[in-house]
Amino acid sequence: MLQIRAKLIYNKNITGNFFHLTLRAPRISGKCLPGQFISVKVNGPNEPLLRRPFGIHKVKGSDMEVLYEVVGRGTEILSQRKAGEYLDLIGPLGNGFDLGAFSGSRASSSPVIVAGGMGVAPLLFLAQRLRGLRASSPKLRTEVLIGAKTASSILCEKEFKNLGCDVKIATDDGSRGFKGYVSGLLERGLNTGRRPPIVIYACGPRLMLKEISRISEKYNAPAQASLEEHMACGIGACLGCVVNTKKGFERVCKEGPVFRANEIIWG
């Protein structure tokens, strides 16, 4: 963990309330793992008081990218910050995805990425890293399932395709792809045909992750889920962001944000 002043390189609206933010952080970018996050102080002191956590969306050399949605005062202020300004940044934070299943030469399972809404944010970085890991076998495509409310709110489809991923879409209203939740799309895929063992990587709303956890148990496919929780410190000190697990309360910012889905007591 490092605290630095990072230069804001780019901060633009991409669609709807979604923004792309690029920060120059040479001392941090190289240390980041997919699934980890950073925390940013969006402005000066007092108001809003706390830092804001963001999943790492992409890393390119000394730059790191964040994909965020304006949902409140903190992100509203962040969306008004301009290129050339500096932001107080701490990172990298938390534990990322376990890619152990794909680092050996005998890796036999294939990854399936499941993203719901804003959940795509940390998963693009994961796809980027998986591509690097599987570079020696270019035929092994990573499957990516993206869920969105409607066709116009689908995020990152092109970016995943550019990484050579096999992308499938689900929309709540059926305006594109599978009609229904992305978890339903995942289950449909598992129901049909024989397939090699898979590892599921998921990020999205809590109810979606709960559903993924159920599917993961039913089809005996291990799943890792990246959780989101309000955080005060982001560094493990305040014990504010805990989630109920089979081992008791665990900190989303420290033991997480990525957990084995079957370790979480979803309630």
Given the rule CB under 8 A, which residues bind other proteins?
A: 1-3, 41, 45-51, 88, 90, 229-244, 248-249, 254
Closest contact distance (angstroms) between CB of 242 and other proteins is 5
| Separation of alpha carbons 266 and 164, rounded Å | 33
Which residue number, 23 or 253, has a Cβ lying nearer to other proteins?
Answer: 253
Q: Quick one: which of 124, 113, 167, 164 has its CA closest to 141?
A: 164
Please say whether the beta carbons of 259 and 251 come within 8 A. Answer: no
Amino acid at 262: N
Closest contact distance (angstroms) between CB of 18 and other proteins is 22
Which residue number, 2 or 14, has a Cβ lying nearer to other proteins?
Answer: 2
CA 164 to chain centre: 18
Instruction: Enter the tokens of residue 222.
Output: 């291990």
Which residue number, 47 or 104, has a Cβ lying nearer to other proteins?
Answer: 47
Amino acid at 218: K
Closest contact distance (angstroms) between CB of 40 and other proteins is 11
Closest contact distance (angstroms) between CB of 205 and other proteins is 15
C-alpha separations of 43 from 14, 86, 121, 157, 189 in Å: 22, 10, 22, 32, 45
Which residue number, 198 or 243, has a Cβ lying nearer to other proteins?
Answer: 243
Which residue number, 207 or 239, has a Cβ lying nearer to other proteins?
Answer: 239
Which residue number, 184 or 240, has a Cβ lying nearer to other proteins?
Answer: 240
Closest contact distance (angstroms) between CB of 252 and other proteins is 9
Closest contact distance (angstroms) between CB of 123 and other proteins is 24
Which residue number, 31 or 161, has a Cβ lying nearer to other proteins?
Answer: 31
Closest contact distance (angstroms) between CB of 82 and other proteins is 22
